[in-house]
Structure 1
Amino acid sequence: MAAVIREKFDALIIGFGKGGKTLAPFLADQGLKVAVVEKSPLMYGGTCINIACIPTKALAHMAHLISREGLDKKSKVKKYAQAIQEKDELVSLLRAKNFDKVNGHPGVTVITGTASFRTSHEVQVETQSGAWVIEADRIFINTGARPVLPDIPGIKSSRVYTSTEMLDLAELPSRLAIIGGGYIGLEFASIYANFGSEVTLIERGPRFMLKEDRDMADEVQKVLEHQGVRIRLATKVNRIQEQEQEQAARLSLTPSAGREEELVADAVLVATGREANTEDLNLEAAGVEVNERGFIQVNDKLQTTASHIWAIGDVNGGPQFTYISLDDFRIIRDQLFGNGLRTTTDRKQVPSSVFIDPPFSHVGLTEAEAIERGFKVKVAKLPAAASPRARQLKQTEGLLKAVIDAETEQLLGFTMFAAESGEVVNIVSLFMKSEQPYTVLRDTIFTHPSMAETLNDLLANI
């Protein structure tokens, strides 16, 4: 039996995600002795690089290009296999770079194994070569989140995949069923429809894109359906049966107003939410509590119920974006080595993008949210086709929308379903933080031709 390694560190980071991998070298530069524990060698760099943002956006870009080439189905199948290979090469490259950057940093030790709290200051790590017992003054939990599997009979069929597993599917499914109409489901629907799959998106709720204004949601639905995505709203999945002879899965569906029916698919993607990766941590031994959703409970400075333990990124139940995890690092940096004033309440006008085709981006309030909060609003809309740049790119689908406070003239919200919206929304987010009247953005000089200059035309419509 291998001897247990016991070692004292100033700081222990459990999980290799964006916040943790940025925090580790920073703490080491302050003179601290730092350990980083990662459960899987396939997750160096965290969720974004390995199983989320980077691989999905790489596939989305390839799918967009392929959809414009007018290829037959056989050619698209080959292109898909090539795209998966290129995605794998990109992920492997970035994973290795991230590992080398952290592990090669003076003062940082990376340990690959499963961490579990023994006490609030001691963590045991089981590795392939033996066990470590690490004592640390400060501990940072950065273990991320994973897809939730709903309680549907047959959900563990070999034809059923989570978003993580779907990224390793080497062969393009001819027929794809997606359970869940959230951001992840929408992105995969757009990607696989562009690659040539027959996609059916199944949403249990009665409304498409529930949190968005109806005019924007309707525009997205129209474009996706034009791409070939079949959208089934108010539909329950009763069970999934694997059909070995057909090499397919048979889904039993019940619409809210209709009889039970069947849908056959070569692959089924489950995209019904995410849950915290905490099952191995033995949080009770550390005095760390979780909230009603199972995510680690934190205050506005990301401290858990044990004040020397912090939770960073998706595991704390905040917005599930890698750039939020990076901002978690900034809060901790300020708390430990700054003036200690930065908190999660400082986050205002945080933009988001869903990388469907074209991308859907938003910042601030929707029109419905603004009205519900008592604002008197003015609204401007502009079809994406009005943009010369959109016509150059041959991406004229979509719609832009701005919501203005009629009393202060400030921009309350902005939504852009159009080409390059993931870039333009960042400009608008920065502008909204300045709290200037919308006319300043309306009259700002942008380069031509660009999608950013579409803001001039949009805001001129008020």
Structure 2
Amino acid sequence: MEKYQAVIIGFGKAGKTLAGTLAKCGWRVAIIEQSQSMYGGTCINIGCIPTKTLVHDAQLQHDFTHAMARKSSVVELLRDKNYHNLADASNVDVIDGHAGFIDNHTLKVTSPQGECLIQGDKIFINTGARANMPEIPGLLTTPGVYDSTGLLNLTALPAHLGILGGGYIGVEFASMFARFGSKVTIFEAGPRFLPREDEDIAAAVAGILEQQGVEIILNAHIQSVSAGQNSVLLHTPEEILPVEVLLVAAGRSPNVEGLQLQNTDIKLTARGAIAIDPWLKTAVDHIWAMGDVNGGPQFTYISLDDFRIVRDALLGEGKRNTGDRQHVPYSVFMTPTLSRVGLTEAQARASGADIQVVSLPAAAIPRTRVINDTRGILKAVVDNRSREILGVALLCADSHEMINTVKTAMDAHLPYTALRDQIYTHPTMSEALNDLFGMVRDN
């Protein structure tokens, strides 16, 4: 029985950052990871880093095979760096194997080399999330069907990529593979494309994808999937639709299977996530859950903020909690990028707020002429009474950088005029905020 002050299950952003921080404070730490290909977590190995590396190369129209090779080299470099950041510390043990609870304090770790028992004064679950697979007959058994992880390991560019699910992951892969040269078809079961966005933003995204050659099929009720001749066949009530490769992009669910939580007093939510309080504690006082497994927003930067909350609990004043988070932004790395923070127009109107809505075509920004990409639209929602920004959607080049400026202004409760009258360098995309908020009428 090995005993540690802190045991962390999973090598994701929150877990690895916490392990390094506690080690520097002199704690004896164990971090358990079931796969050597996942040192560093989802983001580095199968999420943000590989996909955005491919998006970059697709934008430059690089050869697919060379892009995949470069993606692998970037991932391997960062994975190795993340491993040694912890494994080289004298008071950190990186333990390979699958962890399952025996009781509230004890874990059994199983690996090809055998089993061992570990106890932790404090335990942190950071096991992330896994891809959902809808219960469609044939989906799990038909060759050529992949989740996003499998698709990132293709060795050849598919002539025709089908994407089951028209959400943000599907949009990102659709844009990327269309840029590489694949024919792409999105199969969305619902009647609306990107229903979480305002209709004008969703329509603009759809228009850009269609310009890239992406076909979007709404109300696509896939009844079953089967193998054709070098193809995947999607069976609907009306017809059979063939694609060469099918990506299942139906969201992700918390990774709790195999943790043997029934041996503990840890509770789950109705959605299958580990139930936590605002300080990320589970129903067991010395066990925390961080990152995607706790059911919060599935972003690496939220996992990092989870670390900050736990660090404050262990080493600080214990005041930080999830309620401190304001206006979480996100970016969908299609080309050009879609970024949003705060309320949509529909949400703002439903709230009963007295608002103004302004929008600006990306083509009005001088920088878009310089870089020869005038596609997109910028949109802002402003509260007439407080003059604060309630929400912004940016569908344009470099929006993933611009949105952070907007978030900072919103978090500081600055009036929209702070961005309207700011001095920006020229020619840049950020100076579009002068014009966008310059359209708001002063009341």
Q: Output aligned runs, 1:357-368, within 5 Å.
A: 357-368=335-346
Q: Deviating runs (4+, > 6 A) in structure 1?
A: none
The aligned amino acid for 1:163 is S
Matched, 1:334 2:334: no
Deviation at 1:455, TM superposition (A): 0.3
1:175 to 160, 185, 188: 160
Q: Deviations over 1:227-274 (max 9, x none)?
A: 11100111111111101xx211111124xxxxx112111100000111
Q: Deviations over 1:288-325 (max 9, x none)?
A: 11111111111101011111100010011100000000
Question: In structure 1, what is the equivalent of residue 437 of structure 2?
Answer: 459
Matched, 1:35 2:35: no
1:249 to 232, 244, 250: 232
1:212 to 176, 182, 197: 197
Question: In structure 2, what is the equivalent of residue 144 of structure 1?
Answer: 128
Matched, 1:280 2:261: no
Q: Deviations over 1:95-130 (max 9, x none)?
A: 000000011123111001000101100001012222
Q: Deviations over 1:50-80 (max 9, x none)?
A: 00100011111111111xxxxxxxxx7xx10
Q: Output aligned runs, 1:185-334, within 5 Å.
A: 185-243=170-228, 246-254=229-237, 260-334=238-312
Deviation at 1:441, TM superposition (A): 1.1
Question: In structure 1, what is the equivalent of residue 368 of structure 2?
Answer: 390
Question: In structure 2, what is the equivalent of residue 108 of structure 1?
Answer: 92
Tell me the secondary structure at the aligned position of residue 302 of structure 2: helix
Could you tell me how far apart the structure 1 residues matched to 2:94 and 2:318 are?
A: 28
Q: Deviations over 1:363-416 (max 9, x none)?
A: 111111011111111011111111111111111100000100011111100110
Deviation at 1:219, TM superposition (A): 0.5
| TM-score (normalised: structure 2) | 0.98
Could you tell me how far apart the structure 2 residues matched to 1:53 and 1:30 are?
A: 30
Deviation at 1:202, TM superposition (A): 0.6
The aligned amino acid for 2:266 is V
Deviation at 1:336, TM superposition (A): 1.2
The aligned amino acid for 1:366 is T
The aligned amino acid for 1:249 is V
Question: In structure 2, what is the equivalent of residue 126 of structure 1?
Answer: 110
Could you tell me how far apart the structure 2 residues matched to 1:85 and 1:265 are?
A: 25
2:149 to 164, 171, 175: 164
Q: Deviations over 1:423-455 (max 9, x none)?
A: 000010001111121011100001111110000
Could you tell me how far apart the structure 2 residues matched to 1:427 and 1:141 are?
A: 32
Question: In structure 1, what is the equivalent of residue 381 of structure 2?
Answer: 403
Moved more, 10-19 or 429-438: 429-438
Q: Deviations over 1:176-234 (max 9, x none)?
A: 11000111111111111111111000111101110111111111111101111100111
Question: In structure 2, what is the equivalent of residue 72 of structure 1?
Answer: none
Which runs of 5 or more structure 1 residues have no equivalent in the other structure? 1-5, 67-75, 255-259
Which runs of 5 or more structure 2 residues have no equivalent in the other structure? none
The aligned amino acid for 2:35 is S
Identical residues among aligned pairs (%): 50
Could you tell me how far apart the structure 1 residues matched to 2:75 and 2:418 are?
A: 41
| TM-score (normalised: structure 1) | 0.94
Could you tell me how far apart the structure 1 residues matched to 2:26 and 2:262 are?
A: 31
Moved more, 127-136 or 33-42: 127-136
The aligned amino acid for 2:215 is R
Tell me the secondary structure at the aligned position of residue 19 of structure 2: helix
Question: In structure 2, what is the equivalent of residue 153 of structure 1?
Answer: 137
Deviation at 1:277, TM superposition (A): 1.3
Tell me the secondary structure at the aligned position of residue 236 of structure 2: strand
Q: Output aligned runs, 1:68-79, within 5 Å.
A: 79=63
What's the C-alpha RMSD, in Å, of the aligned pairs? 0.9
Could you tell me how far apart the structure 1 residues matched to 2:143 and 2:117 are?
A: 38
The aligned amino acid for 1:376 is D
Could you tell me how far apart the structure 2 residues matched to 1:52 and 1:106 are?
A: 30
The aligned amino acid for 2:291 is G
Tell me the secondary structure at the aligned position of residue 52 of structure 2: helix
Could you tell me how far apart the structure 2 residues matched to 1:281 and 1:40 are?
A: 15
Q: Output aligned runs, 1:51-70, within 5 Å.
A: 51-66=46-61
The aligned amino acid for 2:403 is V
Question: In structure 2, what is the equivalent of residue 3 of structure 1?
Answer: none
Question: In structure 2, what is the equivalent of residue 49 of structure 1?
Answer: 44
Could you tell me how far apart the structure 2 residues matched to 1:440 and 1:42 are?
A: 46
1:425 to 376, 400, 403: 403
Q: Deviations over 1:8-53 (max 9, x none)?
A: 1000000000000000011112221100000000000000000010
Matched, 1:85 2:63: no
Tell me the secondary structure at the aligned position of residue 190 of structure 1: helix
The aligned amino acid for 1:151 is E
Could you tell me how far apart the structure 2 residues matched to 1:285 and 1:397 are?
A: 54
Could you tell me how far apart the structure 1 residues matched to 2:3 and 2:418 are?
A: 55
Deviation at 1:328, TM superposition (A): 0.1
